[in-house]
Structure 1
């Protein structure tokens, strides 16, 4: 496994049992209302959450949209263990790699990816996989952290050296450029001071 992925898996294994209440997960939680608002505006019969962590976003999806078929994928075994305790058998949970999704072509109507994309060493491969598993007309909703250009540049010098498996922070335009070979109608907007929401149609 790629060293970044190994570090990421280990870091989230360590954080899993406290992630829902500790500061580690606060940024991800801050994007839930925005993602759920967007999800309410599109068909969402089947949803895949890539980098689902402890399953908290999938739990929120189930509370708001109980008829939605939910699937979650994460690299961390411990994160998935917490998710299974929380969600029981209501959600399909799979350990796997965002750059090699273990799902059939065109399986999902919506793909959520929240606060995870900056961990991927091969983002183009992940974007291609996201498109592959979405139905034609399916929608990607991607939330992630960002920073102003100067700070982002400095952070990107040091992120690969972190023990957390972080790879790179992106601007909205950079994320859009990564997605546009695989999606149409790609748009993005800033959410608060340190987050982005990006969306596109398969």
Structure 2
């Protein structure tokens, strides 16, 4: 089996310094505004950003909601170093694996996962772990890259060989099925631009 995680670590460690300004982070930057808008309309006290990268979403969110407790988890040490410089002591940032997160059961009100889900070799395990850490009636929001069939099918033939640790571009049906298998409910899928979906689900 290809070591997707090692590829992701290597890729994001090398991208970290310029991720916020160069083309590598361009897709992620396009989803910040609609995601922050959605989060502003939710009432919550604790939030986890799984695959938080350089911490940009938490940084923007804390400007809008100063009193929340923000947490970030990422597998790339260099991305986290950038996030720590940006966020200072405003968020608790942890180096770790999304399949084995160092948080208590039913700890978070909201979990977000942006532009990282397509890197997970065991996505169902990640979703089950997120479900474990969410409080009852807690909310999960995933935003990630999408493209149409058959282009998606064609890309998925080659994506596993990417040096960046990409695993798969998911269809709406695949994502919703994974969420159901992880015991999420109230699943709502929307496109927020031509290349990005947002799916919201609750525990």
Match of 1:88 in 2: 88
Give the distance between the partners of 2:15 and 2:113, measured in 1 at CA. Answer: 19
Match of 1:198 in 2: 199
Q: State the SS of the aligned residue for 1:177.
A: helix
Note the alpha carbon deviations across 1:116-162, whole angstroms, 9 max, x for none: 00000000001101111000010001100011111110111111101
Give the distance between the partners of 1:4 and 1:139, measured in 2 at CA. Answer: 27
Tell me, yes or no, if structure 1 residue 20 matches structure 2 residue 20: yes
TM-score (norm 1): 0.97
Tell me, yes or no, if structure 1 residue 5 matches structure 2 residue 5: yes
Note the alpha carbon deviations across 1:99-132, whole angstroms, 9 max, x for none: 1111110110000100000000000001101111
Give the distance between the partners of 2:188 and 2:132, measured in 1 at CA. Answer: 19
Q: State the SS of the aligned residue for 2:137.
A: strand
CA contact (8 A) 1:160 1:167 kept: yes
Offset at residue 176 of structure 1 (A): 1.0
Give the distance between the partners of 1:39 and 1:136, measured in 2 at CA. Answer: 18
Match of 1:48 in 2: 48
Match of 1:152 in 2: 152
Match of 1:101 in 2: 101
Give the distance between the partners of 2:44 and 2:21, measured in 1 at CA. Answer: 28
Q: State the SS of the aligned residue for 1:187.
A: strand
Tell me, yes or no, if structure 1 residue 185 matches structure 2 residue 186: yes
Offset at residue 41 of structure 1 (A): 2.1
Corresponding pairs, count: 202
TM-score (norm 2): 0.97
Q: State the SS of the aligned residue for 1:149.
A: coil
Q: State the SS of the aligned residue for 1:25.
A: helix
CA contact (8 A) 1:75 1:96 kept: yes
Offset at residue 173 of structure 1 (A): 2.0
Instruction: After TM superposition, list the pairs within 5 Å mapping 1:140-179 onto structure 2.
Output: 140-179=140-179
Offset at residue 2 of structure 1 (A): 6.8
Give the distance between the partners of 2:38 and 2:2, measured in 1 at CA. Answer: 33
- Which sits farther off after the overlay, 71-80 or 185-194? 185-194
Match of 2:64 in 1: 64
CA contact (8 A) 1:172 1:189 kept: no
Give the distance between the partners of 1:114 and 1:169, measured in 2 at CA. Answer: 13
